[in-house]
Amino acid sequence: MPVTDLLERNCKLYGDEVALVELNPTMKETRRTTWKEYDLVQQTSAAPYRREITWSIFDEKANRVANMLLSRGIQKGDRVAILMFNCLEWLPIYFGILKTGAIAVPFNFRFSAEEIKYCADLAEVHMIFFGPEFIGRIESLEEDLSKGRLLIYVGDGCPTFAESYRELVADCSSHAPLVRLEEEDDAAIYFSSGTTGFPKAILHNHESLMQAAQMEQKHHEIGRDDKFLCIPPLYHTGAKFHWMGSLCAGSGAVLLKGTTPEIILEAVSKERCTLVWLLVPWAQDILDALDRGDLDLENYHLDQWKLMHIGAQPVPQSLIQRWMEYFPTHKYDTNYGLSESTGPGCVHLGMENIHKVGAIGIPGYRWQAKIVDENGEEVAQGDVGELCVKGPGVMTCYYNDPEATAAALKDGWLYTGDMAMQDEDGFIFLVDRKKDVIISGGENIYPVEIENFLSAFDKVKDVAVIGLPEPRLGEISAAIISVKEGMECTEEEINEFCKELPRYKRPKQIIFADVPRNATGKIEKPVLRKMYGAEQVVAQQNRS
Q: What is the DSSP string of 486-543?
A: T----HHHHHHHGGGS-GGGS-SEEEES---B-TTS-B-HHHHHHHHHHHHHHHHHHH
Total Cβ atoms within 10 A of residue 485: 6
Q: What pLDDT is attached to residue 536?
A: 60
Amino acid present at 118: Y
Residue 156's contacts (CB-CB under 8 Å, 6 or more residues apart) are: 39, 40, 132
In whole angstroms, how far apart are CA 94 and each of 100, 297, 340, 387?
11, 37, 19, 31
Asked if 246 and 427 count as a contact pair (C-beta separation under 8 A), the reply is no
Amino acid present at 427: F
Q: Kindly give the pairing relationship between strand 163-164 and strand 150-153.
A: parallel
Note the pLDDT tens digit of each residue in 181-203: 999 999 999 998 543 457 899 99
Looking at residue 377, what DSSP letter applies? P
Domains of the chain: 4-258 (3.40.50.12780), 307-433 (2.30.38.10), 443-543 (3.30.300.30)
Q: What is the mean pLDDT of the chain?
A: 88
Q: What pLDDT is attached to residue 315?
A: 72
Note the pLDDT tens digit of each residue in 46-100: 456 899 999 999 999 999 999 999 999 999 999 999 999 999 999 999 999 999 9
pLDDT in tens, the chain (544 residues): 899 999 999 999 999 999 999 999 876 444 333 333 333 433 334 456 899 999 999 999 999 999 999 999 999 999 999 999 999 999 999 999 999 999 999 998 888 898 899 999 999 999 999 999 999 999 998 888 877 789 999 999 999 999 999 999 999 999 999 999 999 999 999 998 543 457 899 999 999 999 999 999 999 999 999 999 999 899 988 889 999 999 999 999 999 998 899 999 999 999 999 999 998 778 888 998 998 899 999 999 999 999 999 876 667 677 888 899 999 999 999 999 889 999 889 999 999 998 898 889 999 999 999 999 989 999 999 998 899 999 999 999 999 999 999 999 999 999 998 888 999 999 998 876 666 778 888 877 877 778 878 988 989 888 899 999 888 888 999 999 999 878 899 999 999 999 999 888 999 999 999 988 754 446 788 888 888 875 664 455 455 4
Nearest by Cα to 189 from 114, 279, 112, 98: 98
CA distance 229 to 277: 7
CA distance 514 to 495: 19
Looking at residue 156, what DSSP letter applies? S
Total Cβ atoms within 10 A of residue 423: 13
In whole angstroms, how far apart are CA 96 and each of 3, 58, 68, 212?
12, 10, 9, 19
Give the three-class secondary structure for 385. strand
Indicate the Cα dihedral angle 420, 107, 136, 442, nearest 10°: -30
Q: What pLDDT is attached to residue 29?
A: 44
Q: What percent of the chain has pLDDT over 70?
A: 91
CA distance 362 to 348: 6
Backbone angles phi, psi at 376, to 5 degrees: 80, 10
Which residues are registered as beta bridge partners of 275? Answer: 228, 307
Asked if 468 and 533 count as a contact pair (C-beta separation under 8 A), the reply is yes
Asked if 358 and 429 count as a contact pair (C-beta separation under 8 A), the reply is yes
Total Cβ atoms within 10 A of residue 469: 17
Indicate the Cα dihedral angle 199, 407, 101, 115, nearest 10°: 10
Indicate the Cα dihedral angle 18, 19, 25, 29, nearest 10°: -60
Q: Phi-psi region for residue 93, left (φ > 0), alpha (ψ -120 to 50) or beta? A: alpha
CA distance 224 to 154: 31
Looking at residue 131, what DSSP letter applies? -
CA distance 415 to 387: 6
Q: What pLDDT is attached to residue 142?
A: 84
Which residues are registered as beta bridge partners of 398? Answer: 202
In whole angstroms, how far apart are CA 479 and each of 284, 291, 414?
25, 33, 32
